[in-house]
Chains A and B, each alone.
Chain A
Amino acid sequence: MNSEIRLSCHDVERYLGEEESRVHALRGVSLQLDPGSVHAVVGPSGCGKSTLLYILGLLDSPDKGSVAIESQLMSNLSDDELARRRNELIGFIFQFHFLMEDFSAQENVMIPMRRLGRLSEEEMLERAGGLLEAVGLGDKRRRPSRHLSGGEQQRVAIARSLANDPKVILADEPTGNLDTANSERAFDLLKNLVHQGEKALLLVTHNPAIAEACDWIHEMKDGRIIASHPRSSRS
Chain B
Amino acid sequence: MTPPLYIALRFLVHRKRALLLSLAGVVFGVAIFIGTQAQTEGFAQYFIDSTLGSNGALIVRSRFRPQSTMLIPPKNSKTQASHRSYFEGIDDASAIMRVSRQFSNVVSCSPVLRGTLSARAGFENATVDLYGIDPALHLQTTDLAHQIVNGSFDDFRNNPNSVIIGSRLADVLNVEPGDTVQLLPPGGEYRRLIVAAIARSGIGPIDATRVYSHARVAQTLLHKPYTASMIIYKLRDPHSAPALAQHFETLFQHETQSWQDREESTLQLFLTLRMSAAITVSLIILLAGFGIFNVLTMTVLSKVKEIAILRSMGYRRIDISAIFLWQGAMIAAAGSLIGCIFGALLTWGVSNIPIRIRGLLYTNHFLVVWDWRHYMWATLLAIVAVTIASYVPARRAAELPPVATLRGSSV
* Chain A residues within 8 Å of B, Cβ to Cβ: 16, 23, 25, 45-51, 54, 57, 59-60, 79-80, 83-88, 90, 92, 94-96, 98-100, 102-103, 107, 111-112, 114-117, 160, 164, 172
Given contacts A25-B411, A103-B10, contact A59 B317 (CB under 8 A): no
Cα distance, A85 to B305, chains bound together (Å): 21
A-B interface contact total, Cβ < 8 Å: 87
Interface centre among A25, A60, A90, A99 (most CB of B within 10 A): A60
Known contacts A23-B411, A115-B314; decide if A98 and B305 are in contact (CB<8 Å).
yes
Residue ranges of B at the interface with A (Cβ–Cβ < 8 Å): 3, 6-7, 10-11, 14, 305-306, 308-319, 402-403, 406-408, 410-411
Contact across chains for A79 and B317 when beta carbons are under 8 A apart: yes
CB distance from A139 to the nearest CB of B (A): 23
Extra inter-chain contacts (11) besides given A59-B402, A92-B312, A115-B319, CB under 8 Å: A25-B411, A57-B312, A80-B316, A83-B314, A87-B315, A96-B408, A100-B309, A102-B11, A111-B309, A114-B3, A115-B313
Q: Do B411 and A54 touch across chains, with their CB atoms under 8 A apart?
A: no
Give Cα distance in the complex from A96 to B26, angstroms: 38
Query: How far is A172 from B408 in the complex, measured between Cα atoms in Å?
Result: 11
In the complex formed, the residue of B with least CB distance to A92 is B312
Contacting residues, chain B, for A60 (C-beta < 8 A) = 403
Please name all residues of chain B whose beta carbon is closer than 8 Å to the beta carbon of A116 when the two chains form the complex: 314
In contact, A50 and B313 (Cβ under 8 angstroms): no
State A80–B321 Cα separation when bound (angstroms).
Answer: 13
- Residue from the list A46, A98, A172 in contact with B309, Cβ < 8 A: A98
Across-interface contacts of B11 in A (CB, < 8 A): 102
- Give A57 to B314 CA distance when docked, in angstroms: 10
Beyond A60-B403, A100-B306, is A87–B313 a contact (Cβ under 8 Å)? yes
Given contacts A46-B410, A102-B10, A111-B310, whether A80 and B402 have CB atoms under 8 Å apart is no
Residues from chain A with a CB closer than 8 A to the CB of B6 are 114
Chain A proximity of B353: nearest CB distance (Å)? 45
**A54-B403, A100-B306, A115-B319 as given contacts; A49 in contact with B410, CB under 8 Å:** yes
Whole-angstrom distance between the alpha carbons of A94 and B305 in the complex? Answer: 12
The 5 closest A-B pairs by CB, nearest first: A87-B314, A114-B3, A86-B314, A102-B14, A83-B316
Q: Which residue of A lies closest to B316 (CB)?
A: A83
CB distance from B200 to the nearest CB of A (A): 64
Highest count of chain A CB atoms <10 Å: which of B6, B318, B319, B410: B410
Kindly list chain B residues whose C-beta atoms are within 8 Å of the C-beta of A51. Answer: 407, 411
Name the distance in Å between B21's Cβ and chain A's nearest Cβ: 19
The closest CB in chain B to the CB of A204 belongs to: B410
Distance in Å from the Cβ of A72 to the closest Cβ of chain B? 16
B327 to A: closest C-beta gap in Å: 14
Q: With A98-B308, A115-B319 in contact, do A50 and B3 touch (Cβ < 8 Å)? A: no
For A100, what are the chain B residues with a Cβ–Cβ distance below 8 Å?
Answer: 10, 306, 309
Chain A residues whose CB sits within 8 angstroms of the CB of B314 once the complex forms: 83-88, 90, 112, 115-116, 164
List residues of chain A with CB within 8 A of the CB of B316: 79-80, 83-84
Residue of A nearest to B410 (CB): A50
Q: How far is the CA of A54 from the CA of B315 in the complex (A)?
A: 15
Q: Select A83's contact among B10, B311, B406, beta carbons within 8 Å.
A: B311
In the bound complex, what is the Cα–Cα distance between A25 and B14 (angstroms)? 39
Q: What are 13 residue pairs bridging A and B, where the CB atoms are less than 8 Å apart in the complex?
A: A48-B411, A60-B403, A83-B316, A85-B314, A86-B312, A92-B313, A98-B309, A99-B309, A102-B10, A103-B10, A112-B313, A115-B3, A115-B315
Cα distance, A124 to B204, chains bound together (Å): 72
Most buried by A among B11, B315, B316, B317: B316
Q: How far is the CA of A60 from the CA of B401 in the complex (A)?
A: 9
B301 nearest CB across to chain A (Å): 15
The winner among B311, B314, B406 for most chain A CB atoms within 10 A is: B314
CA–CA, A27 and B402, complex, Å: 22
